[in-house]
């Protein structure tokens, strides 16, 4: 697939257009019939909703939200639900597409979905947040369910929000429907190990990549952009394996210590102060400086479009493990590939969350629950197997890892559509 130069990067930051380009490139490389791209280039359904919420001060405020269902050729839609003040419909559509291919890369029996509400949950009281959560699931209830579409936590949502939604949906159905959501509290059928799954899955792929490249884990320098759930877990697990976490950041700023940071101490400091900024013994650096630090492993675990063409030429990491969705633009991806940097794409490296969500769904459907140790063992098996399949195509086709992952995923979805008769 032909890529354009860095000079057009600002015109390609729309995540929906980025995802379309990635799918088109995979379709062309695989020599698939045009009908495959025509179906995969957009979601099969996008529902836009308005949720009026009674605020604590007596006002009624209306929040806009979406549920995008991209493709269900291989199984019910699956994907997170985020609350964010700047989320857009195109972002939700793109994320639902990425979920389709993330599930396909891991060979999970799911299609891709994604949901969002445009709001700032940090400014909502607990009561307002509960009423918004219940209102959202009321609006989308006709199109979701354990055999239709299974949401999960994402940016600024959590197990409690999932619990409110499960309860509201169960009221609508008039029976308990715990399998509606994954990422639930354990008491409502949540899975052991789910809260750490995204960060843990990313670490499993990074460790496997280090093994392939002959990079010792002991003493390896690791940089983590985004010290939220996925990033803090990845930092802690890499530290426990003997790596040296030299820099982390959050939405307020970045910190650096070349001798290494103690992730647990940084997390405790953030819980007390609200940010990693000001952590004792660490220097303040910019986000750009963090992304371009000399290190063995860089883990972007924040938001989309963080590594652009402007940044990519200075990225020093040998391995970039994408714990976030869409953190690298197509132009930057090509630059990193040309410079010999191994990018572990989001649809592979951040798939630990949806993999354990699949385990949770299976447990809900069967009523039989596994201990956390067994969950983590199963996750490692699935992540390493998926990595090996993608890495083999990367070596054979001599294309970027992201392109190899999309080729694997698109082929699987296309095969499913073909046998179902969708392609004529």
Q: What is the CATH number of the domain that holds 152?
A: 3.40.50.10860
Contact yes or no for 136/157 (Cβ under 8 A): no
Q: pLDDT confidence of 1, banded at 50, 70, 90? A: very low
Look at the block and give the residue holding tokens 């060979």: 107
Q: Would the pLDDT of 87 be above 80?
A: yes
Domain count, the chain: 2
How high is the pLDDT of residue 15? Answer: 85
Same domain, 82 and 206: no
pLDDT at 2 over 50: no
Longest alpha-carbon distance in the chain: 64
Residue of 78, 114, 184, 270 marked catalytic: 114
Transcribe 218-258 into DSSP letters. TT-EEEEE--SHHHHHHHHHHHHTT-EEEEEEETTEEEE-T
Question: Within this chain, do residues 154 and 57 fall inside the same structural domain, yes or no?
Answer: yes
406 in any annotated domain: no
Same structural domain for residues 144 and 211? no
Query: Which of these three, 349, 376, 409, is where a domain ends?
Result: 349
Please give the Cα distance from 395 to 82 (Å, whole number): 36
Same domain, residue pair 201 and 172:
no
Is 246 within the bounds of a domain? Answer: yes
Q: Is residue 377 part of a domain?
A: no
Residues 236 and 329 in one domain: yes
CA dihedral 177, 180, 186, 190 (to 10 degrees): 130
Last residue of a domain, one of 301, 316, 349: 349
> Checking DSSP bridges between strand 77-84 and strand 149-153, what pairing results, if any?
parallel
Do 117 and 213 sit in the same domain of this protein? no
One domain, residues 132 and 269: no
pLDDT, tens only, 109-151: 999 999 999 999 999 999 999 999 999 999 999 999 999 999 9
pLDDT tens-digit series, residues 160-186: 999 999 999 999 999 999 999 999 999
* 159 and 104 inside one domain: yes
- Quote the mean pLDDT of the chain: 94
Is residue 107 over pLDDT 50? yes
* Cα 38 to Cα 36: distance, rounded to the nearest angstrom: 5
Q: Residue 18: pLDDT band by 50, 70, 90 thresholds?
A: confident
Query: Both 171 and 215 in a single domain?
Result: no
Last residue of a domain, one of 144, 177, 210: 177
The answer to whether residue 114 is catalytic is: yes
- On the question of pLDDT at 366 being above 90, the answer is yes
Least confident of 5-19, 116-130, 278-292, 357-371: 5-19
Q: Are 161 and 216 in the same domain?
A: no
9 pLDDT band, cuts 50/70/90, is: very low
What value does the mean pLDDT take over residues 32-50?
97
What HEC string does 94-143 produce?
A: HHHHHHHHHHHHCCCCCEEEEEEEECCHHHCCHHHHHHHHHHHHHHHHHH
Q: Same domain for 243 and 310?
A: yes
> Which of 34, 19, 35, 88 lies closest to 347 in space, CA to CA?
19
Radius of gyration for the alpha carbons in the chain, expressed in angstroms and rounded: 21
Residue 100 lies in a domain: yes
In a domain, 362, yes or no: no
- Tens digit of pLDDT for each residue in 278-334? 999 999 999 999 999 999 999 999 988 899 999 999 999 999 999 998 899 889 999
Over residues 249-275, the pLDDT tens digits come to 998 999 999 999 999 999 999 999 999
Classify residue 188: in a domain, yes or no: no
| Residues spanned by the domain of 222 | 197-349
Give a yes or no: residue 228 inside a domain.
yes
CATH code of 341's domain: 3.40.50.720
In a domain, 361, yes or no: no
Q: What is the pLDDT of residue 185?
A: 96
Query: φ, ψ for residue 191 (rounded to 5)?
Result: -100, 140
Say whether 410 sits in a helix, a strand or coil. helix
Do residues 166 and 224 both lie within one domain?
no
Phi, psi of 89 (to 5 degrees): -60, -40
């Amino acid at each position: 697939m032909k890529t354009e130069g860095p000079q057009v990067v600002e015109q390609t930051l729309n995540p929906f257009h980025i995802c379309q380009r990635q799918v088109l490139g995979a379709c062309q490389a695989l020599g698939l019939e045009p009908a495959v791209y025509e179906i995969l280039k957009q979601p099969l359904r996008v529902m836009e909703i308005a949720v009026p919420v009674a605020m604590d001060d007596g006002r009624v405020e209306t929040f806009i939200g979406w549920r995008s269902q991209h493709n269900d050729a291989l199984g019910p839609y699956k994907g997170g639900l985020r609350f964010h003040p700047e989320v857009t419909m195109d972002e939700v559509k793109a994320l639902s597409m990425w979920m389709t291919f993330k599930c396909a890369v891991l060979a999970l029996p799911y299609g891709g979905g994604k949901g969002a509400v445009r709001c700032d949950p940090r400014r909502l009281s607990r009561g307002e947040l509960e009423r918004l959560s219940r209102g959202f699931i009321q609006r989308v209830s006709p199109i979701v369910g354990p055999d239709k579409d299974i949401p999960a936590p994402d940016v600024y949502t959590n197990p409690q929000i999932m619990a409110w939604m499960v309860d509201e949906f169960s009221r609508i159905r008039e029976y308990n429907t715990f399998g509606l959501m994954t990422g639930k509290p354990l008491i409502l059928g949540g899975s052991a190990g789910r809260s750490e799954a995204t960060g843990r899955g990313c670490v499993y792929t990074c460790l496997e990549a280090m093994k392939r490249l002959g990079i010792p884990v002991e003493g390896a320098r690791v940089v983590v952009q985004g010290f939220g759930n996925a990033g803090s877990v990845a930092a802690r697990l890499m530290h426990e394996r003997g790596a040296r976490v030299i820099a982390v950041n959050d939405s307020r700023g970045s910190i650096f210590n070349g001798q290494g940071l103690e992730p647990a101490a940084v997390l405790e400091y953030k819980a007390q102060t609200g940010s990693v900024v000001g952590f004792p013994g660490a220097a303040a650096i910019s986000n750009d400086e963090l992304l371009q630090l000399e290190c063995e492993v860089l883990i972007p675990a924040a938001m989309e479009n963080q590594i652009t063409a402007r940044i990519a030429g200075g990225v020093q990491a040998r391995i970039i493990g994408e714990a976030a969705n869409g953190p690298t633009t197509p132009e930057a991806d090509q630059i990193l590939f040309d410079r010999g940097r191994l990018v572990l794409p989001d649809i592979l490296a951040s798939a630990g969350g949806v993999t354990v969500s699949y385990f949770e769904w299976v447990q809900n459907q069967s009523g039989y629950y596994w201990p956390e140790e067994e969950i983590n063992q199963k996750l490692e098996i699935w992540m390493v197997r998926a990595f090996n399949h993608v890495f083999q195509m990367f070596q054979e086709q001599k294309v970027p890892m992201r392109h190899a992952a999309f080729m694997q995923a698109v082929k699987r979805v296309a095969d499913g559509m073909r046998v179902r008769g969708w392609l004529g």
